[in-house]
Amino acid sequence: MSDVKKFLYVNRKAPHGTIYALESLEVVLIGAAFEQDVALAFLDDGVFQLLKGWDTSELGSKNFQPAYTALGDYDIQKVYVERESLEERGLSEDDLLEMVYEDEDDDWAEKSSIRIVSREELAKIMQDSDVVLSF
Amino acid sequence: MAMLHTVNKSPYQCNTLESCLNHTQEGDVVLLIEDGVYAAAKGGRAADALAAAKGVKICALSADVKARGLDGRIIDGVEIVDYAGFVDLVTETDKTQAWL
């Protein structure tokens, strides 16, 4: 098991204006398939990716928001969201999507994957990761 | 000589909106499109700058507002327009400047 690395995917872009958010999701799913220790971080405009209630029908593009809620099925249990980034944008945890995983150590109880962290805590999480992929 | 200004960048990512607002004149229209619509989100830091813009009409494109989950979260004083409304703004003004 020593070859399991801690991957951190850093998301800093809003969802539709660029392709980064969608590309990040694709790469995250690939990483999860290789059974690595995967964590996601959302900061700066990246927090907008998790703002619930997308309706892309008028825009005419695919609504890929449901894919975020499916990440728990790929055993992604750590989704860090930076508190300062939320506050600057007038958002709180209540405005975000529900993201859950099933905890195998706790009789498969459904638990929230979202962890609101401070900028300082996120800096430490970055330090503690083996691989950081930035989007 | 009213001008239409379009802004398509998030105000939290770069200073496009700020620069646009620094170059508008009374009677101009600023249309927020794509990631530009985040400027009009209630409670956000950028919304204050937008609300402070005087003598300028501010609009936001409906498709971009809805796609980002901002429906019902837009500050007062910002008019939501659809694609047809976008075209109307282009025809009603003398020229268009796209702030990229």
| Residue B83: DSSP 8-state | H
Q: Is residue A92 part of a domain?
A: yes
The ipTM estimated for the assembled molecules is 0.91
Query: Rounded to 10 degrees, what is the CA torsion of A25, A29, A35, A39?
Result: 20
Phi first, then psi, for residue B92 (nearest 5°) are: -75, -25
Tokens representing residue A46 in the block = 């990246």
Averaged in consecutive runs of 10 residues, what is the pLDDT profile of chain B (100 residues)?
A: 95 96 96 98 94 94 98 97 98 97
Indicate whether A1 pLDDT > 60. no
Inter-chain CB proximity B68 and A51 less than 8 Å: yes
HSE (side-chain half, CA atoms, 13 Å) at A16: 27
Q: What is the C-alpha to C-alpha distance for residues B16 and A12, in angstroms, rounded to an integer?
A: 18
CB nearest B45 (choices: A44, A63, A88): A88
Q: What is the pLDDT of residue A30?
A: 86
CB nearest A55 (choices: B35, B38, B67): B67
Q: Is residue A1 part of a domain?
A: no
pLDDT digits over A14-58, tens only? 999 999 999 999 999 888 888 889 999 999 999 999 999 999 999
Find where tokens 């960048």 sit: B9
Q: What is the pLDDT of residue A20?
A: 97
Q: What is the pLDDT of residue A35?
A: 82
Q: Is residue A80 part of a domain?
A: yes
B75 part of contact set with chain A, CB < 8 Å: no
Tokens representing residue B68 in the block = 């980002």
Q: What is the pLDDT of residue A85?
A: 98
Find where tokens 């989007």 sit: A135
Q: Which residue of A has its CA nearest to B66?
A: A55
Q: Which residue of A has its CA nearest to B61?
A: A59
Tokens representing residue A7 in the block = 């991957």
Q: What is the pLDDT of residue A2?
A: 62
pTM given for the model: 0.94
| Beta-bridge partners for B78 | B58
| Beta-bridge partners for B59 | B31, B79
Q: Which residue of B has its CA nearest to A12?
A: B13
Distance of CA B30 to the CA centre of its chain: 4
Q: Which residue of A has its CA nearest to B7?
A: A17
Give DSSP secondary structure letters for A20-80. HHHHHHHHHHHHHHTT-EEEEEE-GGGGGGGBS----TTTTS---HHHHHTGGGGT--EEE
| Beta-bridge partners for B97 | B5
Domains and CATH numbers, chain B: 3-95 (3.40.1260.10)
Q: Is residue A67 part of a domain?
A: yes
Closest Cα of chain B to A73: distance in Å? 24
CB pairs under 8 A between A and B: 74
Distance of CA B21 to the CA centre of its chain: 10
Q: Give the domain range for residue A65.
A: 6-134
Number of compact structural domains in chain A:
1
Closest Cα of chain A to B1: distance in Å? 31
Cβ–Cβ under 8 Å, residues A55 and A63:
yes
CATH assignment at residue A103: 3.40.1260.10
pLDDT digits over A90-130, tens only? 999 999 999 999 999 999 999 999 999 999 999 999 999 99
Single-letter residue type at A128: D
Q: What is the C-alpha to C-alpha distance for residues A17 and A19, in angstroms, rounded to an integer?
A: 7
Cβ–Cβ under 8 Å, residues B62 and B80:
yes
Q: Is residue A61 part of a domain?
A: yes
CB nearest A52 (choices: B12, B34, B69): B69
